[in-house]
Chain A
Amino acid sequence: MKKRTYFVFVLRELSSVFVGWSAVFLMVMLVAVGRGEAAYQRFLNWASSPVVVIVNVVALAFLVLHTVTWFALTPQAMEIRLGGRRVPRVKMVNVAGRSVPAATVVRVGGRRVPSGMVIASQYAGLIVVSAFIVWLVLR
């Protein structure tokens, strides 16, 4: 690929393949759990084979890329109206090497919410949901 930015873009798009893989993997696991102890054990044996482990590690890396790029792009792409008028776009600033809008068009109670806060709130949501799932699985 000629340009580094194009290369990163292609990786970003490719990551969705691994998102699909992860979804399929989880579903297969759930089906195995549903079928009982023996089926689950067979699934675990398969899942711990080196090939599958490597695929899953790679998939995790791509999932991280997917999440990070998705969250970072959301403020640029979306216009969210929360009980107020639409908010003006503003000047671009440099956030982690990218030129992004300084604020999004998210408005909460009349005040403009900066892009950083929208991104942070997405991560917060991710942490909350993940914590809930961890609790659900481990209890």
Chain B
Amino acid sequence: MADSIKMHVTRYDPEQDSAPTTIEYEVPLRKDWAILDGLNYVKDHVDGSLSYRWSCRMGICGSCGMNVDGEPKLTCAAFLTDYAPGPVRVEPLTNFPVVRDLVVDIEDFMEKLPRVKPWIIRDDDQSVIDGEYIQTPEELDEYRQFSNCINCMLCYAACPIYGIDETFIGPAAIALAERYDLDSRDRGQRERLDVLIEREGVWGCTFVGECTRVCPKHVDPAGAIQRYKLKAAKENVMAFLLPRGAR
């Protein structure tokens, strides 16, 4: 195994540069090092001005999403040895505006997520004194997969629809809406449907499936979206066949 590997990292300082550039850094090639460790090495020993997001370094916080050799990845989960002998390209996440170096502006997602109301909606909120909502393990399993989303936004980077049309609400938002719809404690299906039964909602999706392919937590947002489409279609048919008063 070679001693080191070259990383081609995007640098961009909006106050000085007119456009992003790529700088080559040589970092030690250690068996247990991820791309993130390489970036940390650069920041600690080569250029302290390199800017990037990271936190848990173990694939649960969702902060360190970047494009590695063109693929959206968590940099804490992409290992240097997988890209040896290199060079490996590290770029900011696709489809998001770049703030600086490898940091992207995620404001769009922050605005979209609350729109699907990702919380338990009920008319009759029990107070804490009344006790817990009871839920069986089977009921939990219904939505467990979709609750694994860590909001890392790799799916948005992978989605070609989101790349073309920024108004598309996106895979993670819909998967999280589905997570709450399937939660037995929730009664808010109607409200979420009203938000998602639009072209910017589920109908923008053409089931490319890239989101599911890149998801590091195996949430399968594409599956969630298609199931949501079926729900939405049924809703449309029911609304057509049965006038509101009868339902």
Contacts and interface: CB of A to CB of B under 8 A. Distances in A.
Interface of A: 2-3, 5-6, 9, 13, 73, 76-79, 85-86, 88-92, 98-99, 101
Contact of A101 (B209, B210, B220): B220
Contact of B218 (A6, A9, A78, A91): A91
Contact of A5 (B144, B213, B222): B213
Interface stretch (B106-114, B120-128, B223-231): B223-231
Interface of B: 70, 138, 141-142, 144-146, 160, 206-210, 212-213, 218, 220, 222-223, 226-227, 230
A73 B146 CA distance: 18
B210 A5 contact: yes
B208 A6 contact: yes
A6 B226 CA distance: 19
The 5 closest A-B pairs by CB, nearest first: A88-B141, A77-B226, A92-B218, A89-B145, A76-B223
B interface SS class: helix
A9 to B, nearest CB: 5
Contacts of A9: 160, 208-210
A79 to B, nearest CB: 5
A120 B142 CA distance: 24
Contacts of B141: 88-89
A90 B145 contact: yes
Given A78-B226, A79-B227, A89 B208 contact: no
Contacts of B209: 9, 73, 76
